[in-house]
A and B are shown apart, each in its own frame.
Chain A
Amino acid sequence: MASPMRIATPPLKSGESFRDDFSYSNSPQAIRRFPFPFHEDKYMYSVNIEPHNGGPAGSVFAPAFDIDEHYLSEVEERRRVLEEDPGRCQVLPHMMEAQWDTLELLMESLARDYPQHFSLTTDGDQWTWENRPLGIRDSFTFGDPATLPQEPFEYITRQVQGDFTLHGQRDNMLYMDGGMVTCQADWSLDFDLGMNWYEWHGPVPKAHQMGIFDRALKFLLNLQVERPVRRLNWTMTINPRMDTSPENYHKWGIDRASVTPENVGEKAHLRVELQTLWRLPRSNAIIFSIRCYLISMEELVTIPKWARRFHRVLGTLPDELAEYKGLIGYRPIVLDYLAPFDDGAETSPGIGPD
């Protein structure tokens, strides 16, 4: 893992909203470290998994779990979503050991990577956790759920950005055995809970025929403790809305029809998920972290390389994928907006800004 020196520690903003007035925005520093997902001028599925063992100084890849300037706002948004719909956090009963594994992994990682925000002191099974940004200081007995205000998985994932799913491994298969899912790209934990790997990936076009899921499953079944891996996934979202769940489709589906040439720069967002996968030690389960980043088109075009490349990626994206990602309707308006920023110049290798 990268040393704490290499990890960005921006000031934490507060009060940004992901609904109603949508006051969320990225600072210039946050834009430069955005995990732009395209390493070339076109896009096709691939397994694209690499070791998650740090990354360039200050990048989102450097810490185990990235805490950025939106921390307080995203934690508050999660609290609101859970208040309206407690079913967004569910864990099946046989996963209690995996819940404690999750708590341990997150507390140890955050305390190591962000000592200014978090600390963990342990004396045998007597643990004390301090989360200074949220004003939390709790002492509890590791292994005894009754000593925490919520079950361990919910307790800790309420304090971390991004969604998490828990996967039991049985009979050479992974199952959706739990999760904290409040900022998802149109899928439902409540619907997928208990499904196996092939069942919950059912809706993805093309990838099955390419054998992607067979290869990825085989790879993950052999995932080793302390050898996490990562990949990036992407889609687009209208407005900086974290909770684009099927449960709330009636609230956000209609947004897609609201895009005009005048508002597209502000409204259309590239939504990137930094997905990391970790073998949990005692439970032998896998935890899947889905850390979501949003960037508006007007923020994106401040990086000339990304403006050029995204214009080309979006223009050549097969209709089937554009349909699946829900962006086929407003794609022409986004392409018109990006076109003036694409001078036809060659783009440099890699995903980083020039």
Chain B
Amino acid sequence: MTGQFNIPVRVTRIEQVTPMIRRFTLERYDGGQLPGFSGGSHVVVTMRGDDRIHHNPYSLMGSPDDKRHYQISVRRDDEGRGGSLFMHTRVAEGDTLEVAPPTNLFALNRLAKRHILIAGGIGITPFMAQLHELRRAGADYQLHYSFRDQENAAFRNELEAACGRRITTYDASAGEFVQPGQLLAEQPLGTHVYVCGPKGMIQAVNDAAFELGWADSHVHWEEFAAPPVGKPFRVVLQKSDMEVTVPGSSSVLEALEDAGLQPNCLCRGGVCGECETVVVEGEVEHNDHFLPDDVKQTNSRMMICVSRARSERLVLDL
């Protein structure tokens, strides 16, 4: 489940889609077929920088029928830990990267009577792969896509060509915003809603669905947490009898990998649950979307890919 199964890929095309977003087309280094995937899947991309290795999850946005290519889009984040900057400033056509096989934590529910897809900004990417499935299945769907302004309306033309009347766009600079309460209130029983975008948008859709009495199983969202930058702290590994310092710009997982360990992990974004670890002692700053709130409050478990310590020291059952 760790990085040892990565697939070497070559960057065959880079497109500057908006001032902030680049689309990368990847193919297998040996020219063979890539693993198939379903809409909503992501891959973890490994980037070998000079001073550190980045592992970032990106949604696959190409057609699931294309076994030769993967497409991902990367929004440049100048404040982050450097993975997206690396993709924007260091990666050129012809370069090689590594990807892990796809995992889908944001799949369409095939029993849905209708699918409402709500995207904000770069959150459009998983839906671009799902649209292929929805169209092939002849499913009833609507896409609601909001962006900051026309200059940042990534993929707008291709989406309009693919979706026709099923897409509604919202230009925030013109005062247009998705109204989740109103939108969801109009939907028939059996509708599923999917949201990917900024935190506030995900929260607003979840709140609206809750107030309207929607079942949790009909509300889907995906938000990869980037491991936040914080204060350094010490981690004591009880079983391995080791002590490791977690620097401010590394996650616990990365610090353990730097120390030569291979903890279980998959998405590296606090979503999949693979790296769940028992906390023996210490206070945790939880940044994941996996553990239920009541478990987070007990400080008994943590997701080491994104969560950090509030205390100066954490003792883990590793």
Q: How far is the CA of A313 from the CA of B64 in the complex (A)?
A: 48
B13 to A: closest C-beta gap in Å: 23
CB distance from A223 to the nearest CB of B (A): 9
In the assembled complex, A169 has its CB within 8 A of some CB on chain B: yes
| A181-233 with Cβ < 8 A to chain B | 218, 221-222, 224-227
User: Please, which residue of chain A has its CB at the minimum distance from the CB of B103?
Assistant: A224
A225 touches B35 (CB 8 A): yes
Binds A, one of B80-88, B106-114, B158-166, B177-185: B106-114
A75-128: which have CB < 8 Å to B?
94-95, 97, 101
- A170 beta carbon closer than 8 Å to chain B: yes
A285 → chain B, closest Cβ, in Å? 9
**Residues of chain B with a CB closer than 8 A to A227's CB:** 5, 101
Closest to B272 in A: A222
Describe B's contact surface by its main secondary structure: loop
Q: If A171-B217, A222-B103, A226-B101 touch, does A284 touch B274 (CB 8 Å cutoff)?
A: no
Whether A226 contacts B217 by the Cβ 8 Å rule is no
- Asked if B273 is an interface residue, CB under 8 A from chain A, the answer is yes
Residues of B within 8 A of A178 (CB): none
B36 within 8 A of A: yes
User: Which of B38-54 touch A at CB < 8 Å?
Assistant: 38, 40-41
Quick one: CB contact mask for B266-296 with A, threshold 8 Å, 1 for yes? 1000001110000000000000000000000
Is B109 a contact partner of A222 (Cβ separation < 8 A)? no
B35 touches A222 (CB 8 A): no
For the complex, what is the distance from the CA of A218 to the CA of B216, rounded to whole Å?
A: 19
Bound CA span A101–B111, Å: 18
Contacting residues of chain B (88-117) with chain A, CB-CB under 8 angstroms: 100-104, 107, 109-111
Taking a contact as CB atoms under 8 Å apart, the answer to whether A224 and B102 are in contact is: yes
Contact of A282 among B1, B64, B109, B266 (CB under 8 A): B64
* Distance between A107 CB and nearest chain B CB, rounded to angstroms: 14
Q: For residue A281, which residues in chain B have a CB less than 8 angstroms away from its CB?
A: 35-38, 64, 102
**A168 interfacial contact with B, CB 8 Å:** yes
In the complex, what residue of chain A is closest to B267 when comparing beta carbons? A222
CB distance from B44 to the nearest CB of A (A): 11
Complex: how many Å from CA A171 to CA B109? 8
Q: Quick check: is A59 within 8 A (CB to CB) of the other chain?
A: no
B1-31 with Cβ < 8 A to chain A: 1, 5
Is A283 on the interface with B (CB-CB < 8 A)?
A: yes
- For the A-B complex, the count of residue pairs with Cβ-Cβ distances under 8 Å equals 57
- CB distance B110 to A222 under 8 Å? no
Which residues on the B side are within 8 Å of A170 (C-beta)?
107, 109-111, 217
For B36, B110, B266, which residue has the most chain A Cβ atoms within 10 angstroms?
Answer: B110
Closest to B107 in A: A284
**Chain B count of residues within 8 A CB distance of the other chain:** 26
Contacts of A284 in B (CB 8 A): 38, 40-41, 104, 107
Interface residues on A, range: 10 to 19
Say whether B37 contacts A169, CB under 8 Å.
no
Known: A281-B64, A282-B64. A222 touches B36 (CB 8 A): no
Least distance between A166 CB and chain B CB atoms (Å): 12
* Closest CB in chain B relative to A148 CB, distance in Å: 18
Q: Closest CB of chain A to B69's CB: distance in Å?
A: 15
The listed residue with most B CB atoms (<10 A of its CB), out of A170, A171, A227, is: A170
Give CA–CA (A283, B108) in the complex, Å: 9
CA distance A95 to B110 in the complex (A): 8
Q: Are B38 and A283 in contact (CB under 8 A)?
A: yes
Distance (whole angstroms) from the CB of A193 to the closest CB of chain B? 15
Contact among A94, A168, A222, A226 with B273 in the assembled complex (CB-CB below 8 Å)? A222
Contact with B along A252-294 (1 / 0, CB 8 A): 0000000000000000000000000000011110000000000
- Which partner residue on chain B sits nearest A283 by CB separation? B38
Task: With A218-B273, A225-B35, A225-B36 as known contacts, state yes or no: A168 contacts B110, CB within 8 Å.
Answer: yes
Least CB distance from A51 to B in Å reads 9
The reply to whether A225 and B266 form a contact with Cβ atoms under 8 Å apart is: no
Q: Which residues of B are found within 8 Å of A226, using beta-carbon distances?
A: 35, 101
The reply to whether B107 and A224 contact each other, CB–CB distance below 8 Å, is: no
Give bound CA distance, A283 to B272, whole Å: 19
Q: Which of A94, A222, A284 gathers the greatest number of chain B CB atoms within 10 Å?
A: A284
8 Å CB contact of A225 from B37, B133, B137: B37
Tell me the complex Cα distance, A97–B108, Å. 13
A282 to B110, CA, bound (A): 12
How distant is B265 from chain A, measured CB to nearest CB, in Å? 10
| Binary per-residue interface labels of chain A (139-180) against chain B in the complex, 1 for a CB within 8 Å, 0 otherwise | 000000000000000000000000000001111000000000
B residues with a Cβ closer than 8 A to A are 1, 5, 35-38, 40-41, 64, 100-104, 107, 109-111, 133, 137, 216-217, 266, 272-274
Other than the given A95-B110, A171-B216, A284-B38, 4 more pairs (CB < 8 A) read A171-B109, A222-B274, A224-B100, A284-B107
The 8 nearest A-B residue pairs measured at CB: A281-B36, A284-B38, A171-B217, A225-B35, A94-B110, A226-B35, A224-B101, A284-B107
12 contacts between A and B (CB under 8 A): A97-B137, A101-B36, A170-B107, A170-B217, A218-B273, A222-B103, A224-B103, A224-B266, A281-B102, A282-B38, A282-B64, A284-B40
